[in-house]
């Protein structure tokens, strides 16, 4: 089988390629990535010489390049996106371009090339927010209510993917998953940012009151979930994937990281809140368990401890990432 992976040099895409080449070594992978600030080919050093792996630098908005790169492909797994909410508040236009227009270009390319499956990787943020201190969770029937330019652009892309299924019969599947964490995450997202800041003896910036809740999914559990959707998922269907956390807020996550790194709680700094900050996310992944047999392999605490160890062992990787453009972004977002 030949897979066309978009955004394969980013956090989840590169973890997916490493996972897939280990578990399905007979398959071929084409990694199509623009290499924005978030794309990093160092994540893929382990596989770069594998004859079943190839890389094409390209923009998913580039119609001709997408059409020709997709020739002979069986399955598309679409990760490429502008993915960071705070950047979407600073500059929404690239989010609309890549996440909406880019997805539509890929869908056309998939139709022209008779792709057997187009899998779209989406987010729980399309469903909006849940109230604190409630038992409500998002599931596949939740209504769409995106509240940031990022989540609005992802919602639009989900609608386009479903439209191509209903109108043109393109064989699609979608996953809407919660916050990922693990190796190779760009340190703009809170867990990678917090761990690396604390190792550098800097503070963890916590937005607002810190009582915002996220549902945490380890990236390898996510990759296994996509594998199971590709293998057993029904065409036209959506599957929600989430973690094993029970309403843990950002402040608690920060404290867990500080404990794992042997640092005091003074390493937390409360900073200006994010505009339109979604209060709480929680995912009900019963359908994925029932229909695919999927569930996370370990608890949040176990995966977090492994993640902290990875960042302790791979300082060269993130120190390089945290230089250059990252410093400008950090200053713009957090001040001095
Ligand atoms: P990321 O920002 O780490 O990586 C995105 C990748 O896409 C980068 O390699 C980048 O170079 C590439 N890219 C960006 N614009 C492109 C373009 N126009 N053409 C080609 N390539 C382009 O993102 P991530 O965290 O790995 O997220 C991957 C996908 O998963 C995204 O679609 C995101 O919406 C979704 N998702 C992420 C999370 C999360 O917690 N990180 C959770 C749910 C869903
Ligand atoms: O829910 C899935 C989504 O998770 C994905 O679709 C997005 O691509 C991904 O970026 C992530 O979005 P969040 O906005 O939830 O992730 P982030 O790591 O930016 O923030 C997690 C929580 O931590 C959120 O409540 C905001 C808070 N936060 C974040 C940063 C960067 C802070 O308190 N301080 C920070 O410095």
Given a cut of 70, the residues of the chain with pLDDT beneath it are none
Say if 67 falls within a structural domain: yes
Whether 224 maps to a domain, the answer reads: yes
- Tokens representing 320 are 């390089």
For residue 133, the model assigns a pLDDT of: 85
Closest among 256, 253, 147 to 190, alpha carbons compared: 253
Q: pTM score > 0.95 for this model?
A: yes
Which of 10, 36, 84, 85 gets mutated to test ligand 2 (max ligand atoms within 8 A of its CB)? 85
Q: Please answer whether residues 170 and 236 qualify as being in contact, where contact means their C-beta atoms are separated by less than 8 angstroms.
A: no
Q: What is the pLDDT of residues 225-277, one digit of tens each?
A: 999 999 999 999 999 999 997 899 999 999 999 999 999 999 999 999 999 99
For residue 18, being part of any structural domain is answered with yes
User: Active-site residue among 33, 59, 82, 125?
Assistant: 125
Atom of ligand 2 nearest to the CA of 81: 8
Is residue 140 among the annotated active site residues? no
Residue 330 annotated in active site: no
Does residue 319 form part of some domain?
A: no
Contacts 24+ apart (CB under 8 A), 192-201: 192/311, 192/318, 194/253, 194/254, 194/257, 195/257, 195/261, 195/307, 195/308, 195/311, 196/311, 196/318, 196/322, 197/267, 198/257, 198/258, 198/261, 198/263, 198/267, 199/261, 199/311, 199/312, 199/315
Q: Report which ligand 1 atom has the smallest distance to the Cα of 83.
A: 2
Q: What domain range is 89 assigned to?
A: 2-180+216-243+281-297
Q: How many structural domains compose the chain?
A: 1
Residue 329 alpha carbon to ligand 2 centre in Å: 15
| 150 catalytically annotated | yes
Q: Residue 336 has what pLDDT?
A: 76
Task: Tell me whether residue 45 is in a domain.
Answer: yes
Q: Is residue 264 part of a domain?
A: no
Say how far apart CA 282 and CA 247 lie, in whole Å: 7
Beta carbon of 175 within 6 Å of any ligand 2 atom: no
In a domain, 253, yes or no: no
Q: Which of 180, 186, 190, 331 to mutate to test the pocket of ligand 2 (most atoms within 8 A of CB)?
A: 190
Q: Quote the pLDDT of residue 246.
A: 82
In a domain, 323, yes or no: no
Which CATH number covers residue 63? Answer: 3.40.50.720
Task: Please give the structure tokens belonging to residue 117.
Answer: 């499956």
């Amino acid at each position: 089988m030949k897979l066309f992976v978009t955004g394969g040099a980013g956090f989840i895409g590169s973890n997916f390629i490493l996972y897939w080449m280990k578990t399905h070594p007979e398959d071929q992978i084409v990694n199509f990535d623009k290499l924005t600030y978030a794309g990093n080919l160092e994540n893929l050093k382990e596989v770069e010489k594998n004859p079943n792996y190839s890389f094409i630098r390209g923009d998913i908005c580039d119609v001709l390049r997408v059409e020709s790169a997709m020739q002979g492909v069986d399955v598309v797994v679409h990760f490429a996106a502008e993915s960071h909410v705070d950047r979407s508040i600073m500059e929404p236009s690239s989010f609309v371009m890549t996440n909406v227009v880019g997805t539509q270009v890929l869908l056309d390319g998939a139709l022209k090339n008779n792709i057997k499956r187009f899998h779209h990787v989406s987010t729980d943020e399309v469903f909006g927010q849940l109230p604190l201190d409630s038992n409500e969770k998002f599931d596949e029937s939740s209504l769409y209510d995106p509240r940031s330019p990022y989540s609005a652009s992802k919602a639009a892309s989900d609608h386009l993917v479903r439209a191509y299924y209903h109108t043109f019969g393109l064989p699609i599947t979608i996953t809407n998953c919660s916050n990922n964490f693990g190796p190779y995450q760009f340190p703009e997202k809170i867990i990678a940012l917090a761990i690396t800041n604390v190792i550098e003896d800097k503070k963890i910036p916590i937005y607002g009151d810190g009582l915002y809740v996220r549902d945490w999914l380890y990236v390898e559990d996510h990759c296994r979930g996509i594998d199971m959707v590709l293998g057993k998922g029904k065409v036209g269907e959506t599957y929600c994937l989430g973690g094993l956390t029970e309403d843990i807020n950002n402040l608690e996550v920060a404290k867990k990281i500080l404990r794992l790194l042997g640092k005091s709680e003074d390493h937390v700094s409360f900073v200006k809140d994010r505009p339109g900050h979604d209060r709480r996310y929680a995912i009900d992944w019963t359908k994925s368990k029932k229909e695919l047999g999927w569930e996370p392999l370990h608890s949040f605490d176990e995966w977090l401890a492994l993640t902290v160890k990875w960042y302790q062992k791979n300082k060269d990787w993130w120190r390089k990432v945290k230089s250059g453009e990252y410093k400008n972004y950090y200053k713009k977002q957090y001040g001095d």
